[in-house]
Amino acid sequence: MLSFYGFDMSREKVQGENSPTSIELDECFKHLQDAWPAYLLVDVGNECVVRQNEAATALLGKDMAGCNVADLFADKNITAAHLIDQSQQEKKRSPFYHRRFTRKYNINHYAQKITTSFKAIINTICMHFEDNQYLLVRVEDVSLDVKELKKLTHAANYDALTDLRNRRSFDEELTRVYQDIQNNDAHYVLLYIDIDQFKSFNDLHDHAYGDKVLVLVAQTLNTVKRRADHLFRIGGDEFVFIAKGIEEEKRMAWLAEKILKAIRQIKDTCSPTISISIGGVRINKTSIEKVGDDAKLVNHIKKADKASTIAKALKKNLNSFTSADSI
């Protein structure tokens, strides 16, 4: 129950029924002056802030008393009436709702002459004092929580060294690819990319140099990738490139050659020269039915991996490509 100065604010008050006076309103808000988190009192009729506690001043960067409600929000279309409307809609949706309304908004922070915004949870309680309607607005900064969540999500789905999407993200993408093929008859190609003799980079130099090679290859592959393509590091020296909208084998070969050409452009003073082997496979409804594959496309990955191994064994020059359709 949210209450202060003897008044229960967790339930709707009927106007005129034991409604506190303006003097009592001042006394009520004094109890929130040193409270945490930030509280503001909004006059609904005048669409303005009339009170705020010290925590609100620190959070918002200035005293908002006398300011319009819209000045609180990055979205200037938000008003006290909007908050009440959202509150009423929430009340209709939930039978356990008691005049409380909680939602995330971007809130303005005023620092000197610069105005920035942060993500905050807004909790409002509607009440009546004498003949006026007010909103008690509780503001809680959750921007750090959002940032931490983004960091954790990124760490779970991206490789720490190359910043490419990792094996977990790759498995999730395969499920989306499979569903797209089944639902929309889409066509994809999957290129399995392996760095040649990667162990020698570590043996001849050190692991730091091996890491440098991985980053160079990842950065080079990114220069070839279109916005709709997907690139992953799924193992130590293994990468996967997924491209949509490629049906013909010759177009898959063209894409592979484009990647090989980009790798050849890597200039490095240390030996051995960086080279890769690529195995490619086309993925569509026909190929899935032919190999009896599932949503993880395990058989297609195996075929692409095998083609990459063959390309490595058959190569006469540095860098090579083999299509799984030819083996």
pLDDT score at 7: 37
What is residue 302's three-state secondary structure?
A: helix
pLDDT score at 228: 92
Question: Does residue 187 or residue 296 have the better pLDDT?
Answer: 187
| Torsions phi, psi for 74 (to 5 deg) | -65, -35
Residue 261 per-residue DSSP state = H
* Confidence category of residue 295, pLDDT binned at 50, 70, 90: confident
pLDDT score at 93: 61
Least confident interval from 20-29, 65-74, 210-219? 20-29
Domains and CATH numbers, the chain: 3-147 (3.30.450.20), 158-326 (3.30.70.270)
Distance, in Å, from the CA atom of 169 to the CA atom of 150, rounded to the nearest integer, reads 15
Distance, in Å, from the CA atom of 101 to the CA atom of 96, rounded to the nearest integer, reads 12
* Confidence category of residue 217, pLDDT binned at 50, 70, 90: very high
Summarize the confidence of residues 102-113 as an average pLDDT: 71
Summarize the confidence of residues 181-195 as an average pLDDT: 95
Token reading at 242: 């997924």
Distance, in Å, from the CA atom of 327 to the CA atom of 73, rounded to the nearest integer, reads 62
* Confidence category of residue 9, pLDDT binned at 50, 70, 90: very low
Under 8 Å between Cβ of 233 and 223: no
Summarize the confidence of residues 241-254 as an average pLDDT: 94
* Confidence category of residue 127, pLDDT binned at 50, 70, 90: confident
Q: Reading across the β-sheet that carries 38-43, which strands appear in turn?
A: 48-52, 38-43, 132-141, 114-129, 100-111
Token reading at 9: 């604010």
pLDDT score at 145: 66
